[in-house]
Structure 1
């Protein structure tokens, strides 16, 4: 089943977001997060909090269309594949700058990929590259054709390669920034995205500021602060008193309370991830009393305030 993402925002934040693209846009959004980031290197993270921050800092060659799973250009403007599907040539966007002022180009693209797959690359030692093997195992190498053209060489045709390239793990990083910070680059991220990294106070907050040289329209906020508030009740209280303007990972028991507050807006949308249930087929319930006790134990999973699909089938609940 597809998961849902629930977010609450103060209605006044809508006024801030309504001025997207205006040069005079001002404001700071403080977002109450359930936890802190772990690393701020897009190729070397597996946790949602890190990804959430990096989505505002980094970009990839391609991206998903908003509200869709269709692929559209981002840092690459176009591409073409060979007849046998084993080579893809990408034409890169010109005039894009990293947050450190250096140029986005083919060297940056090759660097961002090669450090993951090339065990002899000097920066390979600085990460675990958890996603590379199972998402990009068919990539044999990357080649620079010229300053704004690169070629992917695949071991075999891969029908999912373009959707994989739209994921955060292959966002492009600044080679100059990586050279400067080396093993600490994950603490000092530098991409081409709408927000630039400012500071990271561990277990407290991460601050980003608008990228004034962004190749798209300027972000509608001056600053974006991710404030760590682990307890969901404390996050909601911080929102209600105005300490933060948005929160995530809500307690379902609070949904009705949120909807009753005219100053708050509950946002929900399907997640990109797909979840599955592994059915236990190794044993069965013979004793009727054991069966009844097990069914009672999972009953809280069934009753929800209407925001999740209940597990109404008894046999399914027992299998879990």
Structure 2
């Protein structure tokens, strides 16, 4: 039986569930009202990429950068000399989202999650003026990471000002992290690959951000739903919670997950399909026990006491819900809720 540290309480109540971040539609007021209503113990700031440029994950995070303006080119987001219309749109969208969340959660006193794309995912997505990815230039990467850290911390401080009673959980989304570490990102020509970035450098940049987040009284978290998520690296960087797609975890990941749980790291595990209103998906979502069986099987393999399961794990969809229909998105949250209750009431198999 694994011995688990209890020195630090988990950042959410037992049997919690939440969303990854994105949500269908374009109305921030409706989205905030739904999220706060459907996620009473762990709501999050909704992201609405359907609104277009500036509401997407990369544009939203790039809009937080300090003294590194960006704009959209035919090939994607690119660093430029001065702020323009695209950056203004990103800031406006975020401001509207915060206004809506403030209205619907102004008295909320539990844990509330906000999400932001991480510096490594930005470096893998945003282009230099030359057209190459930022990740191709170590000096540019350092500048972006510092700018990103400053901007994210300012964002966290703004949310705390608006919602002073809430405890903030800051989820840093790094879907490109495996590609950065493995050196599989294509060059601008498409014929080459950018070299892998040293793991020590990656971990150091993440640690600097997480230390700053923790210094503001918030809980740092890392999320990666891509195959091969670097679980150990994210934990060592200082993330107190890890968001992972439970359906992509393999037995090769067991030791890393077990080490994280033993250290007291909380887990947000995706088990509910984020898209696909198909008969198979609907049938699976209608059976709460089947929905969380991958988590219970993982727990059984790790040999961790079952009564810890609903405390350490918050159930989520496998990824963001922006690509789902509104009906599926709501059903996914209900399925996550029912699955979380199974982990509490029937943790064993």
| Class of the TM-score when normalised by the shorter of the 2 chains | under 0.3
More helix per residue: 1 or 2?
A: 2
Q: TM-score, normalised by structure 2?
A: 0.24
Q: Which has the higher contact order (CA 8 A, sep 6+)?
A: 1
| Greater C-alpha radius of gyration | 1
More strand per residue: 1 or 2?
A: 1
